[in-house]
Amino acid sequence: MDVSSDTEKESLGVSPAVLAKRYLVKPNPWCSKLDLEFDVYCDAANPKLISYKSITKAASEIKSVIAKTPLRKSKCCVQFNMELHYKFELFHQTGSFHERSALYSLKMLDERQRAAGVITASLGNWAQVGNTINTYHALAYYGKRLGIPVTVVLPVHTMPDITKKCEDFGAQVILRGNDFGEAKRQAFQIISNGKNCSYINGYDHPNVITGAGTIGLEILEQLPGTQVILVPVGGGGLIAGIATAVKQLRPEILIYGIQSDKCGSFYKAMENNRPINTSVNHGLAESLAIPLVGYNAFHSAHHLVDKMVLVNDDSLTRAILHLAEEEKVITEGAGAISVAALLAAPNILPELQNKTVVCVITGGNINHIILTRCLDRAKAIEGRLIKITIKLATEDSKGHAKILRIIASMSCNILQSYRESGWLIEDRFYTTYLILICETRGIQHACSVKRVLNTLFPDLCQFEEEPFNPVEACCCFPKRFP
């Protein structure tokens, strides 16, 4: 291979990975530096205020297709010390509240727009499945039913089952870009290249917010005595719609927004009185990880929201487990986030005690692998799963059996048992390390098991310490806004 001397000098001391990026990776030709992302319906300089009248119109438009979702009283009102109800939005055909917004947005298109079709960009949920794809799944679903072409632009790393779901509903799926921003830019590039379709923002288009607001109307109709509503928050469309509808009819009702601490964009927007870019970390509530909240959503909601609360992923896992065990429903992380805030009550939300509270459960699209991990993680946090490492001499088989019998005698269920051998350091070749994963009845039972084993076998049993340390149930940071 003939390489110039300049290239040889430049490459000295440079890793192959850096050279590959320098010479092999080329910028995407569609990634223009021009401002292609201007959305006339989501203009920062001219935000649109959602009206109560438009929400009642949306309710009338969709009622013949979308049935009212159930509002059920919790089985654990005594545990939470409040009259708790759940507004279940996960029983829609596509498993999320986004069907309301998708159907209404498509119904509001004129004949020319219907013929040209719509395009949207997503992390996932407004398109389908997982924690990040509900809205676009709903858009693809109703696009097929109404005969409207739908194009969905997703990042290249999107999971295959997500893209397949969109394609199954007749949508054209384009994989482009490494994140939501690049996918959105590609969508606008397609429009600028002559495809005369309409872009629909999954959380800030006025019709999307309006469609979501119909949930608020249903809550007041189904439970007139509502005093507080807890609403999951990502880009802000859902809370803007619900707050607009509810505060128009019942201004005394408190509206609390619940957001993941992995991306507290709406929380920070409320603090700064304007939308600001916020860093995003991956978490269980992926569909709420919107770095910049919608301008229309914030403009409509900021004066109506009474409090914002941030919750962490450990709280989300406990909420998913609680809903599965007590209410017999499977939810995604974003769908369970309002319950996650309640699990820390009364420490962070003491004012909700003895109140009539509604939690909006927004969706049930969760990957089965993630679900399994969530349930196990939640049990570990609550001390219902404990990990014990037992150290004994290799030839001491009776010692192993004795420990196992004692654990079993305390009604502790041994779920997993395995030995470590390949990763032992040299001075441990004659020691056996047996790792046990055990299921208990709760933190008190787990502590009893630990005390007994530490008393009978001092220095032989090592416990994973997390459940036995005083750990806050939820790292929430509530704040009230004027």
pLDDT in tens, 357-389: 999 999 998 988 999 999 999 999 999 999 998
Task: Write out the residue range of the structural domain in which residue 177 sits.
Answer: 98-206
Task: Indicate if 365 and 398 belong to the same structural domain.
Answer: no
Are 139 and 88 in a shared domain? Answer: no
Q: Please, which pLDDT band fits residue 449 given cuts at 50, 70 and 90?
A: very high
Same domain? For 273 and 132 the reply is no
Are 103 and 176 part of one and the same domain?
yes
**DSSP code at position 422:** T
Say if residue 346 is preceded by a cis peptide, omega within 30 of 0. yes
- Could you identify the residue written with the tokens 């004994």? 392
Q: What is the pLDDT of residues 218-256, one digit of tens each?
A: 999 999 999 999 999 999 999 999 999 999 999 999 999
Section 42-62 average pLDDT: 96
Q: Pick from 329, 354, 375: which residue ends a domain?
A: 375
**481 domain residue, yes or no:** no
Q: Is 146 exposed, middle or buried (0-12, 13-18, 19+ CB in 10 A)?
A: middle
- pLDDT tens digits for 391-403? 877 667 787 788 8
> Is residue 440 included in any domain, yes or no?
yes
Verify that 179 and 272 share a domain, yes or no. no
* Residues 80, 347 contacting (CB under 8 angstroms): no
Name 48's Cβ contacts closer than 8 Å, sequence gap at least 6.
41, 206, 296, 299, 300
Does residue 332 belong to any structural domain of this protein?
yes
Please state the domain count of the chain.
Answer: 3
What local confidence, expressed as pLDDT, does residue 302 receive? 96
Which residues, 6 or more positions from 145, have their beta carbon under 8 angstroms from its beta carbon?
Answer: none
Statement to judge: residues 357 and 212 lie in one domain: yes
Compute the mean pLDDT over every residue in the chain, rounded to the nearest whole number.
Answer: 85
Residue 78 lies in a domain: yes
pLDDT at 306: 98
Is pLDDT above 90 for 333? yes
Query: Cα–Cα distance between 29 and 208 in angstroms, integer?
Result: 31
Whether residue 367 is found in the same domain as residue 420? no
Clarify whether residues 197 and 294 are in a common domain: no
d(CA 284, CA 81): 27
**Domain containing residue 104: CATH number:** 3.40.50.1100
Residue with structure tokens 């530096």? 33
Ramachandran angles phi, psi of 215, nearest 5°? -60, -40
The pLDDT of residue 132 is 41
What's the whole-model pTM score? 0.85
Residue where a domain terminates, one of 161, 186, 206:
206
DSSP three-state, residue 1: coil
CA distance 446 to 382: 10
Q: Which of 191, 206, 221 is the last residue of a domain?
A: 206
Residue 162 lies in a domain: yes
Do residue 128 and residue 162 come from a single domain? yes
One-character DSSP codes across 237-287: HHHHHHHHHHHHH-TTSEEEEEEETT--HHHHHHHHTS---------S-GG
Q: Please report which confidence band the pLDDT of residue 426 belongs to, taking 50, 70 and 90 as the band edges.
A: low
Same domain, 280 and 301: yes
The span from the CA of 172 to the CA of 5, in Å, is 48
Q: Indicate if 337 and 312 belong to the same structural domain.
A: yes
User: Coil, helix or strand for 12?
Assistant: coil
Residue 48 within any structural domain of the chain: no
Tell whether 122 is covered by a domain: yes
